[in-house]
């Protein structure tokens, strides 16, 4: 019984990797997830940085 299910799983797995549309879809989904991850990290890093102090030109004189 295990040999039958393993053979069916291998067939489906090989069919998936041979189809370029499935590979492209996987690449697009992966890039989308990575982009969201980097945007969240960007927001966290720059949200934690302190704001630069503004220099008032009138006070310098």
pLDDT tens-digit series, residues 3-61: 555 666 666 677 767 788 888 899 999 999 999 999 999 999 988 878 788 777 675 55
C-alpha distances (whole Å) from 2 to each of 5, 6, 8, 12, 14 are 5, 6, 10, 16, 18
Please give the radius of gyration of the chain, using alpha carbons only, rounded to the nearest integer: 26
DSSP-derived 3-state class of residue 18: helix
**Domain regions of the chain by residue span:** 2-46
Give alpha helix (H) positions in the chain.
2-18, 20-48, 57-60
CA separation for the pair 9, 12 (Å, rounded): 5
């Amino acid at each position: 019984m295990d040999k039958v299910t393993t053979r069916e799983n291998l067939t489906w797995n090989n069919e998936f990797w041979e189809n370029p549309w499935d590979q492209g879809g996987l690449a697009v989904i992966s890039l989308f997830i990575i982009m969201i991850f980097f945007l969240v990290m960007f927001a966290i890093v720059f949200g934690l940085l302190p704001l630069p102090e503004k220099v008032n030109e009138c006070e310098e004189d």
